[in-house]
Every structure is written in C-alpha cells, then in structure tokens.
Amino acid sequence: MTETDPVKVMKQQVGKAAADLVKSGNIVGLGTGSTAAFMIQFLGERMQAGTLTDIKGIPTSFQASVLAKKYGIPLTTLDEVDRIDVAIDGADEVDPQKNLIKGGGAAHTREKIVDGLAEQFVVVVDSSKLVDSLGAFPLPVEVVPMAIAPVMRALEELGGNPEIRMGVKKDGPVITDQGNMILDAKFAAIANPADLEKTINNIPGVLDNGLFVDLADIILIGEIKDSQPSVREM
C-alpha cells in the first residue's frame, strides 16, 4: 500500500479487513462509497490470487456495479438469488448502538434493501465516523421529484431544515440511480433514530431516508494508533 493520506489509509485497511471476511461461494452485497470501493478492489484481488472463488455480488449502486465489473466480480440480482450471505458497506455516522446515517453518496435506498436482506451486515468506516449520537451529518432523504416542495415543508415541521442536494460538475440537483432527488435534513440532534426513520418514511413522496436502525451486525473501524494503521471491531 503506497497511500499516505491517513484517512485513505484507514479506509484501505478496513476495506481489506472486510474483504477478508468473505468466503468462497458467498453472495455479497457490494456497498457504495470510497471505503466500500477499497473492499470491492480487495475482493477482486483475492479472486485474482485464487483465495476466493465462486462469489457473486449484488451492487447497491451504479458505482458499485462499475467497480465490480472493473475488478472481475460477477454480478447477480435479487430476482436470481434467495439469500445474501454478507453485505459490506460504508457509513457517514455510527453511534454506540451501531445505528447509522448513510446516504452521503445518495445510494441509501438500494443500500438499505441489500444491507437489510443480508444475513450479516458489516459496516466499514474510518474512526472519524464514530459519534455519541447521530445527527451532525445532515440526514439524506430520497424524494420523488414532484413531491419535493411538500416533503420539504413536512421535514421543516419536524425540525429538519432540509436542503436540496445539488450536483458537482452538473448544474441542478443530484438525481439518484432511481431518478429521484435528495434532501439533506439537518436536525439539531436525533434523540430517537427508530422513530424518526419511520416518521420520515411515512411522508408521501419519500422513498427512504438514511437512518439505518438495528441493521448493522459488525462495525469494522479503521484507525491509526502510534502512527500504525489498525482495524478494530465494534
């Protein structure tokens, strides 16, 4: 590993540790984001080295699908399999109860489908993602475009201060893999993630929000201690 940026080193380490958990024959949920991208790369390297055979990936986004193809991981769909053995995905925040905020990459709707179906859901983060309580990271909410105004009003009533996520190197809003828009809602604090997840998802026009409650089984945390990268489990 030649990477020198400490955050990238932590992401790389934890991505490798997660890829090492996958067993031959597994159906694997492939997460989205820069940390999950390292995991997909290491899965491909294990396949090349012959230490991992006969796996199939279920991508959580266009990005994951492109990376899987790049690294030679065969893909399948939820129509074709009746189980996902393990899903490995990043997160934007992780609290001590292993609840998450996801969706920094606008992929949380598909991620919740795939990660939630997996027999084991492994989260890969660098140590900067650990928080005492969720909410400093604005909560991503995927919204059907025609409902954007009423959903914004409903989120404001909940204290969410929503903003439409805008594109980078693209004028106008971010459009998700499903053709929808993203609102980022900044709550002062999220006291009850389970209640808020359900309340937001009950607003007509909302597909899903980035609160992942009681879904994660293992959190792998990349950190740097005494100048050495390491991985610990929560």
Ligand X SMILES: O=C(CO)[C@H](O)[C@H](O)COP(=O)(O)O
Judged by CB under 6 A, the residue of 44, 104, 222, 229 near ligand X is 104
- Is residue 111 part of the annotated active site? The answer reads yes
Nearest approach, Cβ of 111 to ligand X (angstroms)?
6
In the sheet that 228-233 helps form, which strands lie side by side, from edge to edge?
Answer: 56-59, 27-30, 84-89, 118-126, 218-225, 228-233
For residue 18, the number of C-alpha atoms closer than 13 Å in the C-beta half-sphere is: 35
* 112 is a site residue for ligand X (CB under 6 A): no
Q: Per CB under 6 A, which of residues 178..217 are in contact with ligand X?
A: none
Nearer to ligand X, 62 or 226 (CB): 62
Nearest approach, Cβ of 49 to ligand X (angstroms)?
24
Which candidate, 122, 95, 98, places its Cα nearest to that of 111? Answer: 122
Nearer to ligand X, 47 or 92 (CB): 92
Nearer to ligand X, 48 or 219 (CB): 219
128 CB-near residues (< 8 Å, 6+ apart):
7
* 148 is a site residue for ligand X (CB under 6 A): no
* 138 is a site residue for ligand X (CB under 6 A): no
Q: Which of 93, 111, 142, 197 is catalytic?
A: 111
Helix ranges restricted to H, the chain: 6-19, 34-49, 62-70, 108-117, 148-157, 193-201
